[in-house]
A and B are shown apart, each in its own frame.
Chain A
Amino acid sequence: MTYALVSLSVPLFCALLLTLAGPKLDSRHAGQIAIVCSALSLVAAWFALMQMAELNQTILLELGGWESGLAIRLRLNPLSSLLLLFTAFMHVLIGVYAAFSRQGVSRDFWPLSSFLHGSLAALWLSADLFNLYITLELLGLTAVAMVALAGKKAYKPAANYLILSLVASLFYLLGVALIYGRYGSLDVVLLSLQTQSDLLTRIALLIMTAGLMLKAALWPLHLWLPAAHANAPTAVSALLSGLVVKGPLFILFLLWSEVAPVDLAQQIGPVLAIAGMIALVAGGLSAMRSPYIKTLVAYSTVAQLGYAMMALGLLLTWQLPQMHVALWLFVIAHGLAKATLFLAAGEMQATLGTKRISGLRGATQTVPVAMFAFAVAGGSLIGLPPSGGFLAKWVLLQPLLSEPQNWPWAFGVLLGTLVSAAYIFRVVAISFDRARINPPDIRPDRVGHWLALLPALMVWGMALTGDWLIQLLAGSSV
């Protein structure tokens, strides 16, 4: 637990330090400090994970020393330690990219990204609905500020994002208030023993769900996402798509798999799963039609979250702990792959001087590394073996296929696979066009391109640890 606390507090202190130092620190030094802090947090998270892998049980910590019910409770299990590690890794990676690639970021990026890191870490460790509200609010505000870093053109999407984010938080808060009024407790573990499926609980849960789905951009509440993610600076887009939308998803998962009574969960399950299937197809079709590179990548986030939603919905419907493995494998594989997609897309945009997909003609010749990274990461989104995306899809498919009455769900997964393949290879095929090559405006930035490739290689490498990952996550089922 100590390790996890270190992993949580280092980025928070870092954010505080960078904010206090203000303009006295120039961007380069601020960047170095932030990267070092993320790296420290990464190491701590690694130890926490190793400890968890050994113990394989849940550790609870009451902050402040009060007894449960009053105290703020933190909870560490294999899942949260894995997410801590994942968050820290993404921050180190994106930080290094932001610091060393030619597409620099402004000084304000650093305190914000540290803050984002800290609030996410807090979110993974919280086990209290109000705590979760605070982390969610911090996350949303930081994310909005980061979108706005892109300058004037991003102000409008950022403002929209802000309003939606606030509305969503209010919805969630209202639900929290109702729950507190009904049960007099907000602790997830305590609530899981108390909740009943009465009208008030239903309403509270539904309101909270609506808020969370809006925040996580789950279909049909996803419309804000493409504009916000596509207009943010490259490094920020990668963080937003890779990490931020997973925060509300985690809360949604806690809410329905632990807090909600089983019969309610079984009722909402199919709805979520069907919404997930629609998200897969509708998001994929939008991605297929999009004329812009980054918008395509952003819509693919909407589609891929559909897999996660499907896993969550079926987990609730059948109360199958195995699905929870699929859900989090999707989250991690998608995060890594999406980091590559956004970094590669950003690099290609900068080098070729075009936002349009049609501008990628001949990209295999002009920006080979970035294009290769894009294709490799895309392979994981499609779920080609042996990538992380494949691993997740495989785990998801197993229970769907074992009983003939579940086969229609598997058909949904098949459809999702085909649609993802269509939009990824739409980009890849154009890049092989030799007929009318778009010459680069500037020389490719080698560091940036290779850094973009790194997470893609990791998501393929992830498959080799598949057995271990599945065991680890299966151990932390709730």
Chain B
Amino acid sequence: MSALLTWTSALPVLIILSSLIPGLLIFATPEHARTRRTVLNLTGIVVKLILVGLMLRGVSQGLEFRFELNFLPLAPLVLHGDALSLQFITLSSILWLATTIYAIGYLEGSPLRSRFFGYFSLCVSATVGLALAGNLVTFLLFYELLTLSTFPLVVHRGTPAALRAGRVYLAYTLGGGALLLMGIALLHALIATPDFVPGGYLLQHIDNYSLGFQVAFVLMIAGLGVKAALIPLHSWLPQAMVAPAPVSALLHAVAVVKAGAFGIIRVVYDVYGVEASTLLSLTQPLLWLAAATMIYASVRALQQQDIKRRLAFSTVSQVSYITLGVALAGPVAAVGAIVHLVHQGLMKVTLFFCAGNFAETLGIHKVQEMDGLGKRMPWTMAAFSVGALGMIGVPPIAGFISKMYLGMGALEVDQPWVVLVLAGSALLNAAYFLPLLYRGWFGKPPAKGWKEDNFYGQRFETHWMLLIPALFTAVLSILVGVFAGSIFSPLGWSELIVSREFVQ
């Protein structure tokens, strides 16, 4: 802290504070002060987006954003904005905007909204902090804060089912957090905790501590794998579906599973480094695990009749694409992995928004009830279709780009079997998404009318705050696919990251 606080060192802190401070103020906001709460929410988001924009510009020009505070011996608290953190921050800030608007519409008139939005903002602060973390100890800190701030959201409804899901969630994530702590403490005991470096910092010690490094890797991946929902640590995610739809969006797209996947990226690329992880023969088992998760979760998704549960298993499968790309340990696959972080987020958040709309508007929760939805809610159904087709990998939607890079990456590192796994997963994706689309567009609406029919005869097919975010993210998922060639697309940015990671 002795150094002067310049704007480049203050910016990472400000980005975290821009959601933390509104969050704390929202806790103190009385329940009925709806306007004040909305203003606080939106101010926070706008400020954050501006700050993130500033940082994006700075990083693309090669500026360093670093903040340091004494914490533990040889392990300070470091916030560091690099290209990889910005990939995640930009995603979560934009999706935070969409999800907040959605949540305001979704929770209209329900109790305890101040508590909800307070924790919601804390959750985003933790996510952003985790993205900006400059070393493992800082990462751990925000990783645990994320667990703590999402728990109240998962149990928000306070029903016995919600509490059960919340207990399962905590058991998994706190257990994972403890394992992660052990892994990080082990690495620290061996070689202290320096900053994340592209290419990792272990290679020079590899001869002395190879056993310790392997154990630490297993511990950390197990800890991160809980949030990233790798099998066999994924069961909390489908159970957490009882939470309100905006929370599901947050868990699946904005924050939680992404935090796990992002952590895996950090550990493999910026702590171990591709070379050291290959030398320690760590990447191959991770690759198998990711491939197994992809196939297993897709099969499980096929069996689900509840729309949200099907989407949940689809998340389990899709997030392990990221792990797969990381474990392939080649630059092209790395691009696929890092870009999929964004692409999966955009598409999955769209799907969850739409599923929430179906439930809120017509009371539809099951796949069988989707017949003829397209006639009553064409816009939502269209957005849903974009998300689903993107997940399958239909061009030009975002998902296609990531799958293409992952496939090419697998060939590049001479693992052709992975292409088969990818193809199999795409087929399974099609098998569990296309029936939904078919029912929605070509099925017949139920003769005796919908179970319930809210917002009928209004300007839009549903509440506008529910519809706009879904359309917004659907359009974004197409745009990032169409303009993938531009430098400011997620793909262009991922290539920038990878060019820095794999520089020899």
Contacts and interface: CB of A to CB of B under 8 A. Distances in A.
Contacts of B115: 364
Contact of B71 (A386, A421, A430, A435): A386
A470 B174 contact: no
Interface in A387-401: 391, 394, 397-401
B384 to A, nearest CB: 31
Interface stretch (B152-160, B307-315, B467-475): B152-160
A467 interface: yes
Given A384-B148, A385-B144, A401-B186, A467 B72 contact: yes
B176 to A, nearest CB: 11
A440 interface: no
Contacts of A364: 115, 152
Nearest to B211: A404
B163 A429 contact: yes
A467 B182 CA distance: 20
A432 B174 CA distance: 18
B163 A433 contact: yes
Interface string A42-61: 00000000000000000000
A131 to B, nearest CB: 34
A398 B144 contact: no
A63 interface: no
Nearest to B177: A384
Contact of B73 (A430, A433, A435, A470): A470
Most buried by B among A397, A399, A470: A397
Interface string A347-371: 0000000000000001011000000
A397 B189 contact: yes
B148 A435 contact: no
Contact of A394 (B72, B152, B160): B72
A430 B170 CA distance: 13
Contacts of A398: 185, 188-189
B413 interface: no
Contacts of B181: 383, 385, 417
Given A399-B189, A401-B185, A464 B71 contact: yes
Contacts of B211: 404
A320 interface: no
Contacts of B22: none
A434 B178 contact: no
Contacts of A400: 189
A260 to B, nearest CB: 28
A389 to B, nearest CB: 12
Contacts of A470: 72-73
A398 B69 CA distance: 21
A425 interface: yes
Interface in B118-158: 137, 140-141, 144, 148, 151-152, 155-158
Given A418-B175, A425-B170, A435 B158 contact: yes
Q: Which residue, A382, A399, A402, A430, has most C-beta atoms of chain B within 10 A?
A: A402
Interface string B71-84: 11100010000000
A385 B140 contact: yes
A466 interface: yes
B72 A435 contact: no
B246 interface: no
Nearest to A467: B70
Contacts of B70: 464, 466-468
A397 B185 contact: yes
B279 interface: no
Interface size class of B (residues with CB under 8 A): 35 or more
B141 A385 contact: yes
Interface in B238-285: none
Contacts of A145: none
A401 B212 CA distance: 9
Contact of A463 (B71, B175, B182, B212): B71
A203 interface: no
Contacts of A365: 112
Query: Which has the most chain A C-beta neighbours within 10 Å: B148, B157, B166, B178?
Result: B178
B182 A414 contact: yes
Contact of A429 (B141, B155, B159): B155
A410 interface: yes
Interface string A416-430: 011001000100111
Given A362-B158, A404-B212, A466 B72 contact: yes
Interface in A425-463: 425, 428-430, 432-435, 463
B152 A432 contact: yes
Given A364-B115, A429-B155, A410 B182 contact: yes
Contacts of B174: 382, 418, 421, 425
A379 interface: yes
B181 to A, nearest CB: 8
A386 B141 contact: yes
Given A364-B115, A401-B185, A464-B69, A435 B160 contact: yes
Of B72, B160, B179, which is in contact with the most chain A CB atoms at under 10 Å from its CB? B72
A383 B180 CA distance: 13
Interface of B: 69-73, 77, 112, 115, 137, 140-141, 144, 148, 151-152, 155-160, 162-163, 166-167, 170, 174-175, 177-179, 181-182, 185-186, 188-190, 211-212, 215
The 8 closest A-B pairs by CB, nearest first: A434-B158, A401-B189, A402-B189, A385-B141, A467-B70, A432-B155, A401-B186, A397-B185
Given A379-B148, A417-B178, A432-B155, 4 more contacts: A394-B72, A394-B185, A397-B189, A468-B70
19 contacts: A382-B174, A384-B177, A385-B137, A385-B144, A401-B186, A410-B182, A410-B185, A414-B178, A418-B174, A429-B163, A429-B167, A429-B170, A432-B166, A433-B163, A434-B159, A435-B158, A463-B71, A466-B71, A467-B71
